[in-house]
Amino acid sequence: MADLLIVGSFALDTIHTPTTSRERILGGTGSHASYGASFFTKVFASGVVGEDWRSDDTKMLAAHNIDVENLEVRPGTKTCFWEAKYSEDMNYRDTLDIQLNVLADYHPVLTEAAKKCPYIFLANNPPTAQMEVIAQCEEPKLIVADTMNFYIDNMKESLLELLPQVDGLILNDSEAQMLSGKRDLFDAGDFIRQLGPRFVIIKKGEHGSLFMGEDGELCVLPAYPSRQVVEPTGAGDCFAGSFMGYIASRDVADYKTIRDALLYGTVTASFTIEDFSFDALRRASREEIDARFRQMKEMLQF
């Protein structure tokens, strides 16, 4: 059992689905990843928020095996805010508003304890900030980063500088296509691996995920067949965080552990989509996650 550092955004989201709107609910890549990961191991969550951040959200994270010493509340600033609207069929979402606020000028500074985490997940953040984290890590065993279309478009050079510094990259299918210029996801994975990471994980939303490793390892997994899809924001971050949390809990990143971690990421994220924000995941127990793990294991057993 080893500790996991997660650095990412901690945000307030306003989300509109065809039937419901929820205002200023807990969101952010770092928070979703940390909560998922903390089912498996102790997480050091790092990020910055503003004065409008609710201390109850910090308490909720802290009560779930998450060290919040590195979650800075900066006076005189506002928390990152994101507003999005889902399409009628929930297949697409439009960003209606994004206010980086305190995130606009963010330079992560880690506590001594956080610097010593051997497992590091760099959730969505500017690649420059992700590299600042890596520079502070003292005993890294496994560094995995997420990225997004915005940084691929606008910070490509920094992103290409980051990639050789990470062991793995996790990103969406459309982002993998954008970064590689390849339509075929396997081609995209090959291309991205040549940019530095030993392995690539491509998230395909409701269609599951894809892992490609340095020795030709290839694993394609379906999503958990959830019957209760309410709102999917954060599922990809929860998947990535839980993946890393499971690996840290085993303190080894061989292929067998990685595959189990992919399945744990899959089933943990399946709770995220079953309600807004953290609502369904907060109701879930490790036992329920394990039950879905066994259910998928059985479904995929031939």
Binding site for a copy of itself (CB under 8 A): 89-90, 183-184, 186, 204, 207-208, 210, 218-223, 225, 227, 229, 259-260, 263, 293, 296-297, 299-302
* Residue 38: HSE in the Cβ half-sphere, 13 Å Cα cutoff: 22
The DSSP-derived string for 78-120 is: --EEEEEEE-TTSS-EEEEEEE-GGGGG------HHHHT-SEE
Phi and psi dihedrals of 275, rounded to 5? -165, 175
CB of 225 to a copy of itself, least distance (A): 5
223 in Cβ contact with 205 (< 8 Å): yes
CB of 300 to a copy of itself, least distance (A): 4
CB of 275 to a copy of itself, least distance (A): 16
CB of 208 to a copy of itself, least distance (A): 6
CB of 198 to a copy of itself, least distance (A): 19
| Cα–Cα distance, 229 to 126 (Å, whole number) | 30
43-49 and 71-73: which strand pairing?
parallel
| Cα–Cα distance, 205 to 129 (Å, whole number) | 26
49 in Cβ contact with 282 (< 8 Å): no
Query: For the chain, how long is the longest CA-to-CA vector?
Result: 58
- Which residue's CB is nearer to a copy of itself, number 165 or number 172? 172
| Cα–Cα distance, 43 to 10 (Å, whole number) | 15
- Rg of the chain, C-alpha, whole Å: 18
CB of 89 to a copy of itself, least distance (A): 5
94 in Cβ contact with 64 (< 8 Å): no
